[in-house]
Amino acid sequence: MPKDKPSWGGRRPNQTGRPASRKGALRVHLTASIDPLTDAYLREQAKLKSESIGQVIDGLVPGWTRKDAYLREQAKRKKESLGQVIDGLVPADPAEPAEPAES
């Protein structure tokens, strides 16, 4: 097979890959079971802001470099699941903005 046509098919023109993170930032996989209202709120905010759900969650945790570390530390301190911590960050009334998290 010629070098300009690799056997695996090659990169297609529309495959741009994942956008770069800010310098020094790592992507962390976070799995949590959340309340259906929290899910609806996060999806709505993501759509309104044209962001991912992860970016919306990051916005609920201001001032922390490692958002996942904050969420895990809060879960451990409160003896709650990650989902319960995230549920607590979302306002009970979606019309009201969420209160800023402790730093």
Domain ranges of the chain: 38-89
Report the candidate in 49, 61, 45 with the shortest Cα–Cα distance to residue 94.
45
pLDDT 10s digits, 13-48: 776 666 666 676 667 777 888 888 889 999 999 999
pLDDT 10s digits, 49-89: 898 888 888 888 777 667 777 788 888 888 888 888 888 88
Full-model pTM: 0.56
